[in-house]
C-alpha cells in the first residue's frame, strides 16, 4: 500500500513528470482530434435545427463547452495553486501557471460566441445581467492571475501571490453557475444539469457532450505542453535539464 | 502543529472567511442583481418610480398589436400583467407566449413605455417536429378536458 503512495508522489518532481507529460501529449492531441471531428460533424450535419432559433442555436456546440471549460479550469488551477501554497511543491504551482492561458482563452471564447448569439436572438450584444457579468469577472481573474505572475520576477514569490488571487477568485465560480437560478437573468437556465433530465433533443445533447470532451482533451494537451516549457525554463540551472537531448542539441 | 499544517489551516480559514463575506454581500445585493422585475413586483410597488427599469415575463397570447412602427403588447407573469408600448425593431425570438424583457418607464396612464425590448430564451432545445408534436398533444389534452 505504501508503495503505491510513493509511486504517485514520484511524479510530483518536475524531473520525473517532464518525460511522463511528453509521453501523454500525443495521446491527448489524438483524442482531441477525434472528438473535434465527431462533435463538429454531429453539430453541423446530424443535429436537427431548433424549433425557435433555427440554425443559430448551433453556437451551443462551442459556447457551452467553452463556458464549462472556463469554469472547470479555474477550479483546477486554483486547486494546484492552493496545493503549491500549502505544500510548497514546485510542480503544483507550475501546473497552475500552465492552465491559466487556456482558461482565459475558454472564458474569452464563451463571451465572444455568446455576444454573437445574443445580437440576433436577444437583440443585444451584451447586457449586464448576473450570468454575463460574473463570466466577464472570471475572464478578468484569469488575466489578473497571468499579469500578477508575470509582474513578479522571483518565480516562488510570483507563485504565492498568484495562488492567493486564484483562491479568492474561486468564490466567483459557483456565482456564475447558480446565477441563473438565484436571480432574474436574461440568460436562460441550464439545459443540462446533474439533478434533472436534460431539456434538449438527444442528438443535440450528444453533439454538445462530445464537443465538451474534445475541449477537455485539447485543454489537457496544451496545458501539458505549456507545463513542460515552464519546467525547462525554471529548472534550466539543473543538471538533468542540461543533460536532456532536446536541450543539448 | 507543523508549519505546513499551520499554512493549510490559514488557507482554509481564509477561504472560509472570503466565502462567508461574499455570501453576505450577495445576500445584501440580492434585489439589485436582478436583471428585471416581474409584473407582480410592479403591482406591489417594488419597481423604481420615474426611473428606467426593466420588466420581464411572458408576452401574453393574442396581445401583440401593431400600428405602423409602434408595437403594443402585454407582459404577464400569469398573476399580473402590464401593457407595453414600443417603437422599434423586435428581436427574432420575440413571440407571443415566450419570454421577453423590456426596458423603459411607466407612464402615468399605467402603460410601460419601452426604449428597448429583448427576447428571453428558455432552456428548451428541440427540432421543429418535436415542438409540433408537443403542441398537438397539448391541444388534444385541452379538447379532452372540455
pLDDT 10s digits, A212-236: 999 999 999 999 999 999 999 998 8
Contact residues, chain B, for A184 at CB < 8 Å: 34-38, 56
B57 and B28 within one domain: no
Nearest alpha-carbon partner for B33 in A174, A183, A138, A177:
A183
B62 and B43 within one domain: yes
User: What does the alpha-carbon distance between residue A63 and residue A68 come to, in Å, rounded to a whole number?
Assistant: 9
Q: What is the pLDDT of residues A55-105, one digit of tens each?
A: 888 888 999 999 999 999 999 999 999 999 988 888 999 999 999 999 999
| Calculated CA dihedral for residues B48, B52, B58, B63, nearest 10 degrees | 110
User: What does the alpha-carbon distance between residue B124 and residue A191 come to, in Å, rounded to a whole number?
Assistant: 7
Nearest CA in chain B to A180: B34
Measured CA distances, A238 to A34, A62, A87, A88, A233 (Å):
38, 42, 22, 19, 10
- The C-alpha of B110 sits at a distance from chain A's nearest C-alpha, in angstroms, of 23
Three-state secondary structure readout of A146-170: HHHHHHCCCHHHHHHHHHHHHHHHC
B47 and B29 within one domain: no
Is residue B132 over pLDDT 90? no
DSSP 8-state secondary structure symbol assigned to residue B38: -
A124 at B interface, C-beta within 8 A: yes
Cβ-nearest to B34 among A123, A168, A184: A184
- In the structure, what pLDDT confidence band is assigned to residue B29 with cuts at 50, 70 and 90? confident
Q: What is the pLDDT of residues A184-213, one digit of tens each?
A: 788 888 787 766 777 788 888 899 999 999
User: What does the alpha-carbon distance between residue B70 and residue A240 come to, in Å, rounded to a whole number?
Assistant: 75
Can you read off the three cell numbers belonging to residue B26? Answer: 450577495
A238 at B interface, C-beta within 8 A: no
Q: What is the pLDDT of residues B44-64, one digit of tens each?
A: 877 777 778 888 888 988 888
Contact residues, chain A, for B96 at CB < 8 Å: none
Nearest alpha-carbon partner for B110 in B135, B138, B74:
B74
Please give the share of chain A, as a percent, with pLDDT higher than 90: 56
- Residues B33, A128: contact at Cβ < 8 Å? no
DSSP 8-state secondary structure symbol assigned to residue A50: B
- In the structure, what pLDDT confidence band is assigned to residue B31 with cuts at 50, 70 and 90? low
Residue contact B33–A199, C-beta within 8 A? no
B45 and B29 within one domain: no
Measured CA distances, B92 to A56, A118, A170, A194, B85 (Å):
11, 11, 36, 31, 18
User: What does the alpha-carbon distance between residue B23 and residue B100 come to, in Å, rounded to a whole number?
Assistant: 29
Q: What is the pLDDT of residues B89-113, one digit of tens each?
A: 888 788 888 888 898 888 888 888 8
Nearest alpha-carbon partner for B63 in B31, B34, B97:
B97
Residue contact A122–B8, C-beta within 8 A? no
Quickly list H helices, chain B.
3-33, 39-43, 128-145
- The C-alpha of B111 sits at a distance from chain A's nearest C-alpha, in angstroms, of 22
Is residue A1 over pLDDT 60? no
Residues in chain B: 146
Nearest CA in chain A to B15: A168
Nearest alpha-carbon partner for B59 in B71, B49, B74:
B74
User: What does the alpha-carbon distance between residue A25 and residue A167 come to, in Å, rounded to a whole number?
Assistant: 28
Residue contact B125–A130, C-beta within 8 A? no
Whether B134 is in a domain gets the answer no
Radius of gyration of chain B (CA): 23
Contact residues, chain A, for B71 at CB < 8 Å: none
Can you read off the three cell numbers belonging to residue B33? Answer: 442583481
Radius of gyration of chain A (CA): 20
Whether B57 is in a domain gets the answer yes
To the nearest whole number, what is the mean pLDDT of chain B?
82
Residue B63 is part of a domain; what is its CATH number? 2.40.50.140
Contact residues, chain B, for A199 at CB < 8 Å: 123-125
B112 and B43 within one domain: yes
Q: What is the pLDDT of residues A132-177, one digit of tens each?
A: 999 999 999 999 999 999 999 998 899 999 999 999 999 999 999 9
Q: Domain total for chain B?
A: 2
A88 at B interface, C-beta within 8 A: yes
Helix (H, G, I), strand (E, B) or coil at B97: coil
B58 and B108 within one domain: yes
- The C-alpha of B40 sits at a distance from chain A's nearest C-alpha, in angstroms, of 14
Nearest alpha-carbon partner for A89 in A149, A146, A160:
A160
Helix (H, G, I), strand (E, B) or coil at A124: coil
How far is residue A83 CA from its own chain's centroid?
18
Whether B7 is in a domain gets the answer yes
Cβ-nearest to B8 among A86, A167, A191: A86
What range defines the domain where residue B6 resides? 1-33
Whether B20 is in a domain gets the answer yes
Q: Which residue in B9, B16, B33, B135 has the most chain A C-beta atoms within 10 A of its own C-beta, making it the best mutation to test that interface?
A: B33
B75 and B4 within one domain: no
Can you read off the three cell numbers belonging to residue B54? Answer: 426593466
pTM beyond 0.90: no
- What lies within 8 Å, CB to CB, of A211 at 6+ separation is A35, A36, A39, A40, A43, A61, A62, A64, A65
Is residue A3 over pLDDT 60? no
Is residue B79 over pLDDT 80? yes
Cβ-nearest to A189 among B26, B92, B123: B123
Cβ-nearest to B35 among A49, A51, A129: A129
Is residue B23 over pLDDT 90? no
Whether B80 is in a domain gets the answer yes
Q: Which residue in B25, B35, B120 has the most chain A C-beta atoms within 10 A of its own C-beta, making it the best mutation to test that interface?
A: B35
Amino acid at each position: 500500500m505504501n508503495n503505491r503512495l510513493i509511486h504517485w508522489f514520484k511524479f510530483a518532481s518536475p524531473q520525473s513528470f517532464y518525460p511522463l507529460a511528453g509521453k501523454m501529449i500525443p495521446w491527448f492531441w489524438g483524442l482531441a482530434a477525434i472528438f473535434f471531428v465527431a462533435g463538429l460533424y454531429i453539430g453541423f450535419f446530424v443535429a436537427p435545427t431548433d424549433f425557435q432559433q433555427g440554425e443559430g442555436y448551433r453556437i451551443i456546440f462551442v459556447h457551452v463547452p467553452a463556458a464549462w471549460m472556463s469554469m472547470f479550469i479555474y477550479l483546477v488551477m486554483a486547486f494546484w495553486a492552493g496545493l503549491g501554497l500549502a505544500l510548497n511543491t514546485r510542480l503544483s504551482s507550475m501546473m497552475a501557471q500552465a492552465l491559466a492561458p487556456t482558461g482565459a482563452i475558454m472564458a474569452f471564447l464563451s463571451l465572444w460566441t455568446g455576444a454573437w448569439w445574443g445580437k440576433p436572438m436577444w437583440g443585444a450584444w451584451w447586457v449586464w445581467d448576473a450570468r454575463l457579468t460574473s463570466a466577464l469577472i472570471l475572464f478578468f481573474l484569469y488575466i489578473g492571475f497571468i499579469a500578477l505572475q508575470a509582474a513578479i520576477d522571483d518565480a516562488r514569490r510570483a507563485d504565492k501571490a498568484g495562488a492567493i488571487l486564484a483562491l479568492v477568485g474561486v468564490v466567483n465560480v459557483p456565482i456564475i453557475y447558480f446565477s441563473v437560478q438565484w436571480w432574474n437573468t436574461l440568460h436562460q437556465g441550464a439545459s443540462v444539469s446533474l439533478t434533472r433530465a436534460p431539456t434538449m433533443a438527444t442528438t443535440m445533447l450528444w453533439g454538445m457532450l462530445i464537443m465538451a470532451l474534445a475541449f477537455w482533451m485539447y485543454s489537457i494537451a496544451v496545458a501539458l505542453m505549456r507545463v513542460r516549457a515552464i519546467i525547462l525554463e525554471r529548472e534550466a540551472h539543473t543538471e538533468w535539464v542540461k543533460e536532456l537531448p532536446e536541450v543539448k542539441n | 502543529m507543523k508549519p505546513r499544517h499551520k499554512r493549510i489551516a490559514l488557507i482554509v480559514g481564509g477561504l472560509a472567511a472570503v466565502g462567508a463575506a461574499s455570501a453576505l454581500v450577495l445576500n445584501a445585493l440580492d434585489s439589485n442583481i436582478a436583471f428585471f422585475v416581474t409584473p407582480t413586483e410592479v403591482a406591489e410597488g417594488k419597481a423604481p418610480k420615474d426611473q428606467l427599469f426593466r420588466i420581464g415575463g411572458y408576452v401574453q397570447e393574442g396581445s401583440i398589436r401593431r400600428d405602423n412602427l409602434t408595437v403594443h403588447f402585454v407582459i404577464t407573469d400569469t398573476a399580473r400583467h402590464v401593457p407595453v408600448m414600443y417603437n422599434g425593431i423586435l428581436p427574432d425570438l420575440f413571440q407571443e407566449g415566450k419570454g421577453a424583457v423590456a426596458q423603459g418607464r411607466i407612464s402615468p396612464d399605467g402603460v410601460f413605455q419601452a426604449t428597448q425590448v429583448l427576447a428571453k430564451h428558455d432552456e428548451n432545445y428541440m427540432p421543429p417536429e418535436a415542438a409540433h408534436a408537443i403542441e398537438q398533444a397539448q391541444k388534444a389534452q385541452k379538447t379532452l378536458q372540455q
